[in-house]
Amino acid sequence: MIRINCPYCGERDHSEFSYGGDATINYPSLDASEKEWTEAIFFRKNIKGFQFETWHHSNGCRMWLVVERSTVTHEIKSVKPCHPDLQKVVENNK
Amino acid sequence: MMPGNHEFYEHSLKLWENLSHELNYNVMFSQRAHVSLFHSPGAKDSVSRIYNIMRLHGTDAELWDLKTLKKKIPHLNYHNSRFPILGAAVQKRAGNARHDAVAWGYARAADTLGVDILQNCEVTGFTRKNGNIESIQTSRGIIKGKKIGFAVAGNTSVLWQMAELGNLPIESHKLQAFVSEAVKPLLDQVVVYGVGGAHFYISQSDKGSMVFGGDLDWYKSYAQRGNLPMVQDVAEAAMAIFPSLGRIRLLRHWAGVMDMTMDGSFFICKTPISNLYLNAGWNYGGFKASPASGWYFADLIANESPHNYVQNHNLERFEKGINIDERGAGPDPKLHG
C-alpha cells in the first residue's frame, strides 16, 4: 500500500485515491497545429523515476492533488493541492 | 472488428495451433475454450453482434445459453441476483499454453537457427551515424547491426528516449497474476467476465493450480511487484463467480510491467530512424499475440514495409485520427482493458 499524505486529511492509504496521470502536461493554444495537440494529448514522458502526477482523493475530501512520486520505488517526496491558490493557502497555514 | 485486427489475431491463433511442432518443443497449448460470461440482455446482444462478425470472417464462435453453460461448468455462482449469469460467448479454439515452455521453446528454436541470445546484457546507449543507428552500447560491449528492432515491453519509453526520439503514446503500468495451490481437476475452460466494475479471468494449469488475474494496479509504475488493494479486488471477483474457491490458498502473485498505449492497440512500425523498427504497446494482450507479433515484425524488417494487417499500427495514427480497436475510453492508457 502506498501512503499519501493528503494536505487536507492527513496520511491515508492510496486505495482512497484515484490516480489521474501526468501533472506536467501543458496544452498548447487553441490555434496550435495538429502536431502540437497530438503531442500534448497522446504522447507521454513515461518517466522511470520521480515524476509529478495527479491524484484525486475520491473517497476522502475529493480534492485533486499533485504528488511527486517515484515510479520505481513508489517513494513520495511531496504532496500539494493542484490549484496554485490553494497551494498558497496550505503553505500559509503550516 | 476493424479490418486487419481480426485477421492478425486469427493468424496468431493458427500459428499457436502448430507452434509445438514448429518449435519442436511442447508448449502445452490447450484449446480448451474461452468462455466469456454475460450478465444482461444488453451484454448478450452486444456479444452476439461481435461473435457473428467473427463467424462471418471464418473464426469459430458460439453462444451458450444458460442450460448449456450450467451443464459445462456446473459450479459457477448462478444465484447472484445483482449480476445474474445469463450465458456465455465461447471461442472453442482459444485456450492457454504454458508460458515458460513458450519462452524456452522460442529460445531453443531461435538458437538452432543461429540467433544469438545474450542474457544479462543491458542496453546503455546508441551510436548514431548519418541519422541511422550504427551500434548499440551495452553493459557487455558494443554490438553493431544494420537493422535494429525494439521489442522490450514495459521499458519501451526508456529505450526510445535513450535514442533521443522524444515521447511515445505509451505509459508503463503493472498487471498482476495469481496462482493458487494445486487442486484436483476443477475447471476445463478459461472463464472470463467483466461486469459491475470487475474484470476477471481464471483457468486451471496442468499442475492443478488455479491461475487468475484482473485489472491493472491503476497507477503508473515500473515496479515489478503488485500492490495489495488489487489482490483484494481480484479475490472478490473470484468469490463472486466461484464461491467454491473460498478456502483455497494463494501460493504466489507477481506483477509485470505493461506498455499501455493511448488507444489500447499495439505498434509494429517503422520509426523516425530509418534502420530502427518498433514492436511495442501490447497492453493486456501480448501473450496471445506472440507468434503473430514476431511474424509481422520480421516481415516488416525484411520487406521494409508493413503488411496490410498492421499498416495502421504506427505512431502517426493519433495525429491522423485512425481508429483501430477503440472502445471509446479516451486518451488514458490505464483505461484500455
Q: Looking at the complex, report in whole angstroms how far the Cα of residue B100 sits from the nearest Cα belonging to chain A.
A: 26
Domain boundaries, chain B: 101-112+122-169+263-335
- Taking only the tens place, the pLDDT of each residue in B10-39 is 999 999 999 999 999 999 999 999 999 999
Report CB contact under 8 Å: A43, B334.
no
Lowest mean pLDDT among B127-131, B196-200, B330-334: B196-200
Asked if the Cβ–Cβ distance from A72 to B222 is below 8 Å, we say yes
Q: Which chain A residues contact residue B264 at CB under 8 A?
A: none
* A40 contacts chain B (CB < 8 A): no
Residue B285, pLDDT above cutoff 90: no
Using the Cβ of B167 and the Cβ atoms of chain A, whether some distance falls under 8 Å is answered with yes
Determine contact: A25 vs chain B, CB below 8 A.
no
Q: Are B221 and A71 an interchain contact pair (Cβ–Cβ within 8 Å)?
A: yes
pLDDT tens figures, B139-190: 999 999 999 999 998 999 999 999 999 999 999 999 999 999 999 999 999 9
Q: Look at A74 and B166 and tell me if their CB atoms are within 8 Å.
A: no
Between B3 and B68, the higher pLDDT residue: B68
Write the pLDDT tens digit of every residue in B89-126.
999 999 999 999 999 999 999 999 999 999 999 999 99
Average pLDDT over chain B, rounded to whole?
A: 94
Domains in chain A, number: 1
Dihedral in degrees, nearest 10, Cα atoms B199, B205, B208, B211: -20
Residue among A22, A33, A46, A59 with most chain B CBs within 10 A, to mutate:
A46
Please report, for residues B29, B73, B275, B280, the alpha-carbon distance to residue B307 in angstroms, rounded to integers and kept in the order given: 27, 40, 17, 16
Angstrom distance (rounded) from CA B212 to CA A94:
47
pLDDT of B118:
96
CATH topology of domain B101-112+122-169+263-335: FAD/NAD(P)-binding domain (3.50.50)
pLDDT confidence band for B287 (50 / 70 / 90): very high
Interface contact A19-B155, CB threshold 8 A = no
pLDDT at residue B121, as a whole number: 96
The phi and psi torsions of B8 (rounded to 5 degrees) equal -60, -50
At B323 the pLDDT is 87
pLDDT at B44: 95
With cut-offs at 50, 70 and 90, classify the pLDDT of residue B329: confident
- Give the whole-angstrom CA distance, residue B9 versus residue B238: 28
pLDDT 10s digits, A36-55? 999 999 999 999 999 999 99
- From chain B, the residues in CB contact with A19 under 8 A are 218-220, 334
A49-82 residue pLDDT tens: 999 999 999 999 999 999 999 999 999 999 999 9
Chain B environment of A74 (Cβ under 8 Å): 221, 223
Could you tell me if A8 lies within 8 Å of chain B, comparing CB atoms?
no
Residue B300 CA to chain centroid, in angstroms? 21
Instruction: Return the CATH number at A88.
Output: 3.30.2270.10
Q: Is B280 on the interface with A (CB under 8 A)?
A: no
- Tell whether the model's pLDDT for residue A94 goes beyond 90: no
Q: Which pLDDT belongs to residue B1?
A: 65
Report ipTM (2 d.p.).
0.93
What's the CA gap between B284 and B281, in Å, rounded?
9
Q: Which residues in chain B have their CB less than 8 angstroms from residue A72's CB?
A: 221-223
Contacts of B172 in chain A (CB under 8 A): 46, 48, 71
